[in-house]
A and B are shown apart, each in its own frame.
Chain A
Amino acid sequence: MKSRSFNKGFIYIIHRGGVGFTAKHTARVIEAFIGEYASGKSELAINRALELKSQGRRVTLVDLDTVEPFYTLRPLKSKLESMGIQMIGFSQADSFGLGETGAMLDPRARWALMNEGDILLDIGYGVHGAQALNLVEGVDQTPELKVMAVINQSRPMTSTTRDIQDYLLSLGRVDGIISNTHLGDETTIEIIEQGNHIIMEAAAALDIPVYYVAIDKKLQTEGLENRFPVPVKYINRFMPNAIW
């Protein structure tokens, strides 16, 4: 253990172990969000970044989507920067005119872990799960790293316990799961509950912890947390504005 001082005079203690909900004065948070296409990786990475930021922490969000210039963090870059998040990744303007060759990484993403403060890695679906971390220097020297698999049970390829297990096994390293079942504007609490149940069954079989269930803030009601056997985290949806 050692201590390191950051901005605003807080003292953060670095330790190894569970992250889940990060209160003030805990270790540096390093999380990689991986998962199925359209499972909610970017959405949850953004929400996590803003949560940490609201705790007065220094947060860097890294766009590691190498697949295509759609539904990535790019269109939201300036908005998130204005909210105090440090962004590593191209803006739309940076990649303007590149067309299909625009699916490339900001070279700074390779060295992202060398930055101070919390680092959140948003990883595109086309690369195979945690293998994308091979693109980033210093992964082996980052014991704080948690690889979070985002699962939406309403996605057709991860809709049964068996499918989810197979999918998780295909990803390589997974340290924890974020349960993110939803149906867009048609989401109900019952759909989330049912999805979470199936996700938890799959997670239990593989002995992988479910860190929390993500629920759109619009569905927040008194006592809703009691209906779920894992912590509930309310999220705002930013990605519908990121289609291009």
Chain B
Amino acid sequence: MGKIIGEPKKAFITGNEAVAWACLVSGAEIMFGYPITPQNEVMHYWTRLAPKYDRRFLQTEDELSAGFTTCGAVQSGVKAFTATAGPGNVLMQEPFGMAEAMRLPLVAMIQQRGGPSSGTVIYSQQEVTLTTFGGNGEGHRIVYSTSGHQEIYDYLIKAFNVAWKYRFPVFVLGDGYQAKMREPLEMYDPEDHGIELVKPYPLIGLGGKIGEEREPSHLCNIYSMEEELYDVVMKMAAEYEAITPQLMEWEEEFCEDADILIVSHGVVARAAYDAVKALRSQGIKAAYFRPISLRPFPAQQLRDAIAKSGAKKMLVAESAYGQFERLLKQEIYGETIKIEHLFMPGVGIIDYDVIEKVKSIL
């Protein structure tokens, strides 16, 4: 693949456009999609870019089809992706489940929106549960929660590589704010940042005689025997757990010594970080911890942060009513730190909200 960006450059861009460009430089050959706010401009921009770079797009009849066609495309050996939100993400859980079952290197951008609803288009962080554990399986998928355009770009490049390296479906979790927000982005070709793109490969139609020249390619989505399903899930769990140390990503600051540990993810982490710095400047020992990968969750790293900081309280801040907190609690089961929360479903959280909450509980 030739260079697309050339000399790395700063652009003024929306998050959805960052998605389209990131998928382009990652070597995605085709997007399958069905319109839904707030991800529409991913499709708009992909369809503007695709003809220029000999890529393709198919608007399917619904999200079920968009998800399944993505599953089909990756089996044929091309990098493919989809993008959706809200009720579209609900519908896509069936194809995402298939991708889990068949270990398909599917990449999906999720621009979270509010719920419960099929028509609410506003910002929220209410698709954490759905995106991490939404299928009728065990959540053997990889989910990165980004906080801005640069991360959308960087983590989508990573998503394609991780998907094709490990063959688990990978999700990049944005939200309505990140989708629409405008901010500078450094655009680059991955190779110029020392990132080698993992080459796609076909999973079906392989050459060679089965049993003699190669192993059979089992792409099974149906298990009729209980024992067989047991074996498959146990093997998948073991393989997933084996790679989690390489997949976990997080950010932390001021965790060496703190009275309160503020934990958040996605765009809210920007407010939490500003709040922590402001609190520190006011003499309040606050610390910042942010899981970037929600699946797998950096549980040990969070436990370590609790231990080394000596914090007696944790504040979980999210634009949802406890989806992230539930995930966090199950991951750090047994810790005795007191957990407080700032739940603002559907509402953006700014540094002021976090600072006020901290002052009210310390």
Residues of A within 8 A of B (CB): 37-38, 68-71, 99-102, 126, 152, 154-157, 159, 182-186, 243-244
Contacts and interface: CB of A to CB of B under 8 A. Distances in A.
Contacts of A183: 10-12, 184
21 contacts: A37-B44, A38-B12, A38-B14, A38-B182, A70-B180, A71-B180, A99-B117, A100-B37, A100-B119, A101-B119, A102-B121, A126-B44, A154-B10, A156-B11, A156-B13, A157-B45, A157-B48, A184-B184, A186-B10, A243-B181, A244-B122
Interface string B3-26: 000000111111001000100000
A182 B119 CA distance: 34
Interface string B321-356: 000000000000000000000000000000000000
Interface string B117-139: 10111110000000000000000
A162 to B, nearest CB: 12
A244 B346 CA distance: 12
A70 B39 CA distance: 12
B177 A156 contact: no
A99 B12 contact: no
A186 B17 contact: no
Given A71-B180, A156-B21, A184-B183, A99 B120 contact: yes
B120 A186 contact: no
Interface of B: 9-14, 17, 21, 37-38, 40-41, 44-45, 48, 117, 119-123, 176-177, 180-184, 187
- Most A CB contacts (10 A, CB to CB) among B12, B14, B40 go to B12
B41 A182 contact: no
Contacts of B122: 244
Given A38-B182, A71-B182, 10 more contacts: A68-B37, A68-B40, A71-B180, A99-B120, A100-B121, A155-B11, A156-B21, A156-B187, A183-B12, A183-B184
A26 B267 CA distance: 48
Nearest to A39: B12
Nearest to B14: A38
Nearest to A154: B12
- Most B CB contacts (10 A, CB to CB) among A100, A155, A244 go to A100
A159 B184 contact: no
Contacts of B14: 37-38
Given A71-B180, A243-B181, A37 B41 contact: yes
A184 B180 contact: no
A244 B123 contact: yes
Contacts of A68: 37-38, 40, 121
A244 B120 CA distance: 13
Contacts of B180: 70-71, 243
Contact of B13 (A38, A70, A182): A38
A38 B117 CA distance: 28
A70 B40 CA distance: 12
B38 A70 contact: yes
A184 B10 CA distance: 11
Contact of B177 (A37, A99, A185, A243): A243
A102 to B, nearest CB: 8
Contacts of B187: 156
Nearest to B9: A159
Contacts of B183: 184-185
